[in-house]
Structure formats: C-alpha cells, structure tokens
Amino acid sequence: MLDPAELTGWFEAHAAPLVFYARQWLDRGAAEDVVQEAFVRLMLQTRPPGSVKAWLYRTVRNEAISLWRSTRRRHDRERERAVPEIFFEPHHGDPIDAEAAAAALRQLPESQREVMVLRIWGAMTLKEISLLIGSPLSTVFHHYQEGLRVLREKMGVSCQTNHD
C-alpha cells in the first residue's frame, strides 16, 4: 500500500490540473469524479508507478474519454428512440402557427417547457404546478416567466401589455 503522505502530496499537486484536463470531455462534476477514481486506483497500487504524474494523466484521459463516449452513445440512442413531439394539431384559422409554436417549445429547457404546458394548456395555477412537480412556487414562477419571454421572442410576439 502506498504512503498516505505521498498520496496527499500527489493529490494536492495534481488534482486541480487533472480536473481541468478532464473538462475537455466532461462537465465539472463528471471530471471531478474521474479524477477521484484515478486517485482511488492509485491508492490501491502496491507500489507507485514509474511516473505518478504521467500515470494519473493517462488514467484520467482514458476514463474521461470512455465516459464521454458512453454518454454520447446513450444520448444518441435516446434521441433515436424518441417519438417526435407533436404539441399541436394545426387547424385552419388558428391565431398562431402550430409548427412554429411547437418548434419554440422544443427549444425551451425541459423544466420551463413542462411549466409552460401545464400552465397554458393544462390550465393549472402556478401553485398547482408547484405541488405537482415538487418545486418551490418561486422556481415555478421563474420558469414560467422565462418560458413566456423565450416563446414570445421565438414567435415574434410583442411583450407589450395594455398598460404600455
């Protein structure tokens, strides 16, 4: 087993740069996890590798790329299986373009889209939505306001009110 003082020194010297290095492929949380896993593997070695620094960088690189590839493949598979979202059935004389509205909704983050659909098309109050999705009322209100702003912008609808 390796000397704990040596491990501590290697961690202090290399952990932050290794996280930065892994961020080429991963978000911060995943990069930190990969670096932590590399140090756990190092700790389990019976003797230190010839060049600890090179070993750590190689281990982090291999793990980061592997995780990035598997995540990308999973997202690709999920996207292939996804049923196209048809939010609206266009009807002659509709005041808005159904395809443009659906496209604008698809561009919203999932949390905002859910709130918008529940509020506008589900006719739920913000309090009802808050209880349903388990988010604070202030968060639901923020998602609703931001979703409205983005939808208005995407649809080319003025944000002016009757008081303007």
- Per-residue burial over 18-38, b if 16 or more Cβ lie within 10 Å, else e, is bbebbeebbeeebbbbbbeeb
C-alpha R_g of the chain: 25
- Which domains, ranges and CATH numbers included, belong to the chain? 4-81 (1.10.1740), 98-155 (1.10.10.10)
Report pLDDT digits (tens) over 155-164: 776 655 444 4
- Give me the pLDDT at residue 34, please: 97
Instruction: Look at residue 92 in the predicted model and tell me its pLDDT.
Output: 62
Helix axes 4-22, 28-43, angle to 10 degrees: 150
User: Mean pLDDT, the chain, as a whole number?
Assistant: 83
SS3 per residue for the chain: CCCHHHHHHHHHHHHHHHHHHHCCCCCHHHHHHHHHHHHHHHHCCCCCCCCHHHHHHHHHHHHHHHHHHHHHHHHHHHHHHCCCCCCCCCCCCCCCCHHHHHHHHHHCCHHHHHHHHHHHHCCCCHHHHHHHHCCCHHHHHHHHHHHHHHHHHHHCCCCCCCCC
Q: What is the pTM of this model?
A: 0.49
Q: Please write the tens of the pLDDT for every residue from 38-83.
A: 999 999 999 999 999 989 998 999 999 999 999 888 877 777 665 4
Q: Is residue 91 predicted with pLDDT exceeding 70?
A: no
Split at pLDDT 50, 70, 90, the class of 10 is very high
Question: What pLDDT is recorded for position 52?
Answer: 92
d(CA 26, CA 157): 37
